[in-house]
Structure 1
Amino acid sequence: MESTRIRTRFAPSPTGYMHVGNLRTALYAYLIAKHENGDFILRIEDTDQERYVEGAVEIIYDTLKDTGLLHDEGPDKDGGYGPYIQSERRGIYLEYAKKLIEKGEAYYCFCSKDRLDDLKKDLEEKNQTFKYDKHCLSMSEEEIEENLKKGIPYVIRQNNPTEGKTTFKDVIYGDISVDNSELEDMILIKSDGLPTYNFANVVDDHLMKITHVVRGSEYLSSSPKYNRLYEAFGWEVPIYVHCPPIMKDAQHKLSKRNGDASYQDLIAKGYLKEAVINYIALLGWNPGTNEEIFTLEKLVEIFDFKNINKSPAIFDIQKLKWMNGEYIKKLPFEEFHSLSEPYYKGILPENMDKKKISQLMQTRIEILSDIPEKIQFFASLPDYSAEIFVHKKMKTTYENSLENLTKILPMLESLESWSEETISELISSYVQEEGIKNSQIMWPLRSALSGLQSSPGGYLELAVILGKEESLSRIKTAIEVLKKHL
């Protein structure tokens, strides 16, 4: 017997930016499908028109393209299961809801808002959770026809049993049972004719032959209602893969409403898309080894959704920074330089050798947005005190720093050619003639040129990047700072 082709879907609502939780759902759905050479489908769930944000659909497309999570089917790639936008499938949902009414698994509800408000108030006074009381279930066919003819607004509700249990199996959380008495007769079709999120999902997943449903663990409580719909239709239930929540810390979930990390925010802050995808893959899943750096191709090869954890995942920004730094180090130099150049604008003089600065930066930053702060000293010497010249390990003091800088200054001034080779030769000769340690001239020079306690690059690289005139000017400033201290 031929095995079923794996089909997963990413079904976002166009409500704004791509939150990292949404991106992880897309990534896991993509990996599950591609690990088995299956299909990854994009479906736009826009039935909640009040939450629709202009331009959000483009963000979804752009993010999937940018991250390499390329869909096989979707609104722009018809694979024979379209339309792939829920608002374009309106007639389909009403047709299937009516099939459930015929089976006694759903019913018309004509209750007014006032009646529902009174019911809610009455249950609250009794300290009971609101649950619809099946008032309209007992209506005769004649009454229903009469109401429909009159154009009385209605919704269609699921008819759930009030006794027994409903059990469903989740790959991550195992068997979960719920008392049917707790099940709400949820609305399937709203009064505007559009389906509710839950109903549209079930119908679409079946019609699009989705085999694995990946979603957040917050949907666990809705799963029994989903299952009852599948059973009512006589459809096969897909494999559920519920992912643990992504937490900002032990108490707080990452939240789009609270402005927590979206994919767009992370890219704007200077994170690389490859690092973001790698890190998000590890939020709730592990490969069973200590390895942490994975390309998307490698993730496709090794991803096993059964290794997804139950426990919440903490979004550790420091860990992401470290991982991003590792990706930056591995970039081809020309690519890194190209990514860095926008951060140089408005800070560095036009005639400064930007490539040499990129060579210094590539191994010294974790995110691209670290660059402006780290290169500021190239543009202008920061205010500093004489303390930066004193280093116990380097055997430097205020006195010997001042002495060596004062002696080396005229020698540097006399250099006709200003290059790493000529400066290095001069310093080597000076060290031999004076009988001092290398560090006793190199440390004061680096401190003088950068004006910093620690800086990217040594004195040679800094001197060449800054040029002869600026380097000599900075050494003179250092001499004055040390004189004032002494």
Structure 2
Amino acid sequence: MMTRKVKTRFAPSPTGIMHIGNLRSALYEYLIARSRGGAFILRIEDTDRERYVEGAIEVIFRTLSQCGLHHDEGPDIGGPNGPYTQSERLPLYKKYAEQLIAQGDAYPCFCTSGTVSGNEDVDETESFGYNRRCRGIDPGTARERIRSGEAYAIRQKMPLDGKTSFTDDVYGVITVMNKELEDQILLKSDGYPTYNFANVVDDHLMEITHIVRGSEYLSSTPKYCLLYESLGWEIPHFVHLPLIVGEDGKKLSKRHGSTSFDDLIKDGYLPKAIVNMIAFLGWAPGDETEEIFSLGELEQIFRIEGINKAPAVFSYPKLNWMNEQYIRAMPFDTWKKRVQEIADPCFGDRPYDPGKLAEVLQPRVTKLSDIPAMIRFLTGRLPLSRELFYNKRAKLDADKAAYILEAIFPRLQALDEWSETGLDHLLEEAGQALDLKKGQLMGSLRAGLAAQQVTPGGAIETALILGQSESLERLDRVLDFLRKE
């Protein structure tokens, strides 16, 4: 029975972007550790040199940092069980692979890709279809061939009878017949370990208690268990996570939309919303009906028992809703800064009121990426048309709008206090003096300022964002257009 301090690890391969599935594994590993007062480790699995992508390690560090998943040990901060990059641990893998050979649980394989199964396309790292032709080679003969310089890999010698069972913390007891397990490669001829072997060695030496990964790895877990048993090591907890699917029930892919953290950020989602959404991809907080949880709250309530087997649906509408909740709850000064970072390049040298713009947008924005389109009418002059001023409900048309704007233009020019109170008072007085309804005044002013009928804020809010000078310039342009038409 495992009683050691809980220790989990996130062990990504530096092969490019951070997919949602990988980030979910990292989040659950982090939450399992934090919820039990344990440690969360970062390990870089860079043994697949063909798939290594320059800069991918930096992507891993950046993503974890943005999500608040801070590790206790790792290649950047060190720790008692380093190094934490697999390519720096090659002697360890060789040591244990040779130990397995010595005790009869592994053997040297001299097969080339073409002799594994008679198929020239089979890579030496793949055991599928392997006919075990090197399994029976006399150990002395094998040593002679190795001494002569012949290239070889090391394969695990699987039992040919019996069965192997393990208990997964989510899926329960899983049993496979040993005859169905192939003699997998442990160490390739270039000295690099395969994924499965490196994981077992590193997880044991780093004292990992819980292995968290996707359910697609369930079938390879018996091989892990046999390796642990052969090496005399305690088998850790296995926590396999359900498949992530789109709303059509098919495995999540790019055709569903953005499937990586960086792409979601580019799409305008906030890291906190992404983390909150991913937490619910296969887990639920018991009887709790609340869906918005901070990372700190998740650390308190997360339990492995809440993970289910059913495929987890990644819903973009749900993510949109969550993102809205985080935007609405964001401290105003923080929100204003985010808006200004996006709006400043859009406005260029034109003056605007960033505080008022942020105030108008906060209750209306779904994603940060929506902002440029939402403020396009503020940052440039849109084309004008007479139809722009037609509003059947307000009994408004271009001629009526021209009359209204002509009447209020000098009042706006003379206004000393360009504020919400000042503008509201001016329009109220104008409405009484001209015997106009408020909807007619506001509709005419909004269309005149924005050159569109629908805007994130009303006429007064638009005027405040633009400022007095820009507002008057726009209205003068509109009046000139309406007079000519």
TM-score (norm 1): 0.90
Matched, 1:439 2:439: yes
Cα distance in 1 for partners of 2:350, 2:60 equals 38
For the 8 Å contact 1:256–1:262, the answer to whether it is kept is no
Counting only pairs closer than 5 Å after superposition, residues 72-471 of structure 1 correspond to structure 2 as: 72-118=72-118, 130-250=128-248, 252-255=250-253, 260-288=258-286, 289-348=288-347, 349-394=349-394, 396=396, 400-471=400-471
Q: Tell me: CA distance 1:113–1:403, structure 2 relative to 1, closer, same or farther (3 Å).
A: closer
Amino acid at match of 2:61: Y
CA deviations on 1:223-251 (whole Å, 9 max, x unpaired) are 11111111222322111111122234536
Cα distance in 2 for partners of 1:208, 1:256 equals 35
Amino acid at match of 2:306: N
Amino acid at match of 1:409: F
Deviates more, 1:278-287 or 1:113-122: 113-122
For the 8 Å contact 2:351–2:466, the answer to whether it is kept is no
**How far is the alpha carbon of 1:5 from its aligned partner?**
0.8
Q: Tell me: CA distance 1:260–1:417, structure 2 relative to 1, closer, same or farther (3 Å).
A: closer
Q: Provide the residue aligned with 1:126 in structure 2.
A: none
Deviates more, 1:104-113 or 1:272-281: 104-113
**How far is the alpha carbon of 1:260 from its aligned partner?**
4.3
**How far is the alpha carbon of 1:393 from its aligned partner?**
4.9
Deviates more, 1:391-400 or 1:263-272: 391-400
CA deviations on 1:244-299 (whole Å, 9 max, x unpaired) are 22234536434589994322222233322111111111122222322111111001
Cα distance in 2 for partners of 1:206, 1:32 equals 18
SS of equivalent to 2:297: helix
Cα distance in 2 for partners of 1:249, 1:258 equals 8
Q: Tell me: CA distance 1:148–1:311, structure 2 relative to 1, closer, same or farther (3 Å).
A: same
Q: Provide the residue aligned with 1:49 in structure 2.
A: 49
For the 8 Å contact 2:39–2:72, the answer to whether it is kept is yes
Cα distance in 1 for partners of 2:426, 2:35 equals 60
Deviates more, 1:171-180 or 1:398-407: 398-407
Cα distance in 2 for partners of 1:469, 1:338 equals 24
Cα distance in 1 for partners of 2:98, 2:47 equals 19
SS of equivalent to 1:210: coil
Cα distance in 2 for partners of 1:256, 1:193 equals 35
**RMSD between superposed Cα atoms in Å:** 2.7
**How far is the alpha carbon of 1:165 from its aligned partner?**
2.4
**How far is the alpha carbon of 1:205 from its aligned partner?**
0.9
Cα distance in 2 for partners of 1:313, 1:453 equals 41
For the 8 Å contact 1:336–1:358, the answer to whether it is kept is yes
SS of equivalent to 1:430: helix
SS of equivalent to 2:300: helix
Amino acid at match of 1:302: I
Q: Tell me: CA distance 1:200–1:371, structure 2 relative to 1, closer, same or farther (3 Å).
A: same
CA deviations on 1:300-345 (whole Å, 9 max, x unpaired) are 0111122122222233223222222221222222211222222223
Cα distance in 1 for partners of 2:255, 2:230 equals 36
For the 8 Å contact 1:284–1:310, the answer to whether it is kept is yes
**How far is the alpha carbon of 1:461 from its aligned partner?**
2.0
Q: Provide the residue aligned with 2:33 in structure 1.
A: 33
Cα distance in 2 for partners of 1:185, 1:167 equals 18
For the 8 Å contact 2:258–2:264, the answer to whether it is kept is no
SS of equivalent to 2:89: helix
Amino acid at match of 1:85: T
For the 8 Å contact 1:15–1:56, the answer to whether it is kept is yes
Cα distance in 2 for partners of 1:206, 1:419 equals 67
For the 8 Å contact 1:284–1:309, the answer to whether it is kept is yes
The share of aligned pairs that are identical, in percent, is 49
Q: Tell me: CA distance 1:411–1:78, structure 2 relative to 1, closer, same or farther (3 Å).
A: closer
Cα distance in 2 for partners of 1:117, 1:189 equals 19
Deviates more, 1:175-184 or 1:39-48: 175-184
Amino acid at match of 2:149: G
Cα distance in 2 for partners of 1:387, 1:256 equals 41
The count of aligned residue pairs is 479
**How far is the alpha carbon of 1:386 from its aligned partner?**
3.7
Q: Tell me: CA distance 1:256–1:364, structure 2 relative to 1, closer, same or farther (3 Å).
A: closer
Cα distance in 2 for partners of 1:38, 1:387 equals 65
SS of equivalent to 1:241: strand
Q: Tell me: CA distance 1:387–1:86, structure 2 relative to 1, closer, same or farther (3 Å).
A: same
CA deviations on 1:395-418 (whole Å, 9 max, x unpaired) are 545564444334333433443443
SS of equivalent to 1:310: coil
SS of equivalent to 1:214: strand
Cα distance in 1 for partners of 2:170, 2:365 equals 38
Amino acid at match of 2:314: F
Q: Provide the residue aligned with 1:125 in structure 2.
A: none
SS of equivalent to 1:115: coil
SS of equivalent to 1:118: coil
CA deviations on 1:403-446 (whole Å, 9 max, x unpaired) are 43343334334434433333222211222334443222122212
For the 8 Å contact 1:337–1:355, the answer to whether it is kept is yes
Cα distance in 1 for partners of 2:106, 2:295 equals 44
For the 8 Å contact 2:114–2:121, the answer to whether it is kept is no
Q: Tell me: CA distance 1:158–1:385, structure 2 relative to 1, closer, same or farther (3 Å).
A: same
Name structure 1 gaps, 5 residues minimum: 123-128
CA deviations on 1:177-219 (whole Å, 9 max, x unpaired) are 2222221110111111111100110111111111110111111
Cα distance in 2 for partners of 1:270, 1:387 equals 33
Q: Tell me: CA distance 1:346–1:69, structure 2 relative to 1, closer, same or farther (3 Å).
A: closer
Name structure 2 gaps, 5 residues minimum: none
For the 8 Å contact 2:116–2:131, the answer to whether it is kept is no
Q: Tell me: CA distance 1:112–1:429, structure 2 relative to 1, closer, same or farther (3 Å).
A: closer
SS of equivalent to 2:346: coil
Amino acid at match of 1:36: R
Cα distance in 2 for partners of 1:336, 1:34 equals 29
Cα distance in 2 for partners of 1:364, 1:5 equals 46
**How far is the alpha carbon of 1:39 from its aligned partner?**
0.6
